[in-house]
Amino acid sequence: MPLAGIALIIIAVAICILVLTLVPTLLTIKRTAASVGELADMVKGELRPTLQELTSVLGELKTVGGGVAEHTDDVRRFMSALGETGGNLHSINRAVGVVSTVVNTSSAWTTGAKVAGKYILEQYLKKRGGM
């Protein structure tokens, strides 16, 4: 057999091996493409409701955020009023402390004055001979 004939036989065998190898590969690629198509359809079907749900959740979050921003001023005013009330209570407490000190002091002075008055009266009456 001539050299060209052997080369043609080798080429024919190589082409047969190549075809036999490519056929399963092409079938696998075809199945993979079909599977990817099904996956894309499933994702598209699941993605729409998920996106709609996310949109509604974002709307609710905006509403809640707006409500929080609306009431921030109220909370700020409340905290300011609470601070003022605390200051007023502190002032009242100081005033009550001062009055309490004055009352205690005046009570001590009054008691002292009574005792001193009785002593002086007794001494005076003793000198005059009345007792």
Residue 8 lies in a domain: yes
Q: Tens digits of per-residue pLDDT, 74-117?
A: 888 888 888 888 888 888 889 888 888 888 788 778 888 888 88
Residue 68 lies in a domain: no
Task: Specify the amino acid at residue 127.
Answer: K
Pairwise CA distance, residues 128 & 131, whole Å? 8
Residue 37 lies in a domain: yes
Say how many domains are in the chain.
2
130, pLDDT greater than 80: no
Range(s) of the domain holding residue 121: 100-131
Residue 91 · residue 82 · CB < 8 Å: no
Residue 120 lies in a domain: yes
Q: Tens digits of per-residue pLDDT, 33-84?
A: 999 999 988 888 888 888 889 899 998 888 887 777 777 888 888 888 888 8
Residue 131 · residue 125 · CB < 8 Å: yes
Residue 94 lies in a domain: no
Task: Specify the amino acid at residue 110.
Answer: T
Last residue within a domain, chosen from 14, 30, 48: 48
| pLDDT at residue 73 in the model | 81
